[in-house]
Amino acid sequence: MSMRLFRFKNHSVLPGFGLTLGITVLYLSLIVLIPLSALFLKTATTTWAQFWGTITDPRAVASYRLTFGTSLVGALVNAIFGFVVAWTLVRYRFPGRRILDAAVDLPFALPTAVSGIALTALYAKTGWIGRWFDLWGIQTAFSPLGVAIAQTFIGLPFVVRTLQPAIQDLDAGMEEAAATLGAGRFQTFSRVILPFLLPAMLTGASMAFARALGEYGSVVFISGNMPMRTEISSLLIVAKLEQFDYAGATAIAVVLLVASFALMLSINLVQWWFSNRLGREAA
């Protein structure tokens, strides 16, 4: 009881601090930090005009529009349906629930190339789902719609996995209190439950969005890669690399990286802001 507060992990007792920290920092620098800095240094060697020209090139802008747009669509779809999935998995009991729960992680576990060709086969004109859409004149594969579908696939686990613990944390007392005060089921949901789950939903959707931004394998097959129409930004990078336009590839990469980092930062900020307001951990 006495001095627990002041008994922090003191490195003079446990050995190995210097060694383990040293190796950690060394490995981190060699594998991650130095290569990443190569990216920014390369950009620094190009002139600003060159850089700006590359990233505002119409082809690049079209790729941004496609990438950001479809990622957003995917995130929104996942926000809605992912919520339903998380809700049913946490609250209801039905046969096969365990299997469904485990299956949610499939987009993580499945190599992106595999999901890429599978999705393409499924949504192509001859595919099982593709042919239904074709009947209605809607092209799924090799169109922005196909890209959006792939982005939805890839972001699915994020929303579900961040919502599940939040739904489990829902205090039965809150809902019961609302009921005793006369709120109907729908009112309880929209006024009590939904606001409580909002931080988790935002976090999950943002993560799905961020992941979709940089996604390559799952999307590159179904998109068809037509420049200006169905070319995602990460493919644009590869295209430039194949033409040995290192500077160009780097420029686009910097845009994507900055966007990802900015997103990660805002996700952390959102979580922090919500945890301050609500006084508990947001997701």
Residue 131 CB, nearest approach to other proteins (Å): 13
User: What contacts 107, CB < 8 A, 6 or more positions away?
Assistant: 115, 153, 154, 155, 156, 157, 218
Mark the segment that binds other proteins (CB under 8 A) among 49-57, 110-118, 130-138, 223-231: 110-118
Contact 214/222 with Cβ under 8 angstroms?
no
Angle between helices 246-278 and 34-45 (to 10 degrees): 120
Residue 14 as a binder of other proteins (CB under 8 A): the answer is yes
Residues 22-41 that bind other proteins (CB under 8 A): 23-25, 27-28, 31-36, 38-39
Residue 282 as a binder of other proteins (CB under 8 A): the answer is no
Residue with tokens 């627990």: 4
> Alpha carbon 214 to chain centroid distance?
9
User: What contacts 43, CB < 8 A, 6 or more positions away?
Assistant: 51, 247, 250, 251, 254
Residue 207 as a binder of other proteins (CB under 8 A): the answer is yes
By C-beta, is 92 or 136 nearer to other proteins?
92
Contact 87/189 with Cβ under 8 angstroms?
no
Q: Site for other proteins (CB under 8 A): which residue of 49, 136, 182, 244?
A: 244
Contact 260/233 with Cβ under 8 angstroms?
no
Mark the segment that binds other proteins (CB under 8 A) among 46-54, 55-63, 140-148, 230-238: 230-238
Contact 252/55 with Cβ under 8 angstroms?
yes
Residue 207 CB, nearest approach to other proteins (Å): 6
Residue 52 CB, nearest approach to other proteins (Å): 20
Q: Site for other proteins (CB under 8 A): which residue of 55, 72, 76, 129?
A: 129
Tokens, residue 94? 């039905």
Q: Site for other proteins (CB under 8 A): which residue of 65, 125, 131, 185?
A: 185
By C-beta, is 84 or 228 nearer to other proteins?
84
By C-beta, is 19 or 135 nearer to other proteins?
19
Nearest by Cα to 257 from 7, 110, 38: 38
Contact 167/86 with Cβ under 8 angstroms?
yes
Contact letters (x/-) for other proteins, 133-172, by CB under 8 A? -------------------xx--xxx--xx-xx-xx-x-x
Residue 131 as a binder of other proteins (CB under 8 A): the answer is no
Mark the segment that binds other proteins (CB under 8 A) among 17-25, 47-55, 57-65, 132-140: 17-25
Contact 159/204 with Cβ under 8 angstroms?
yes
Residue 147 CB, nearest approach to other proteins (Å): 15
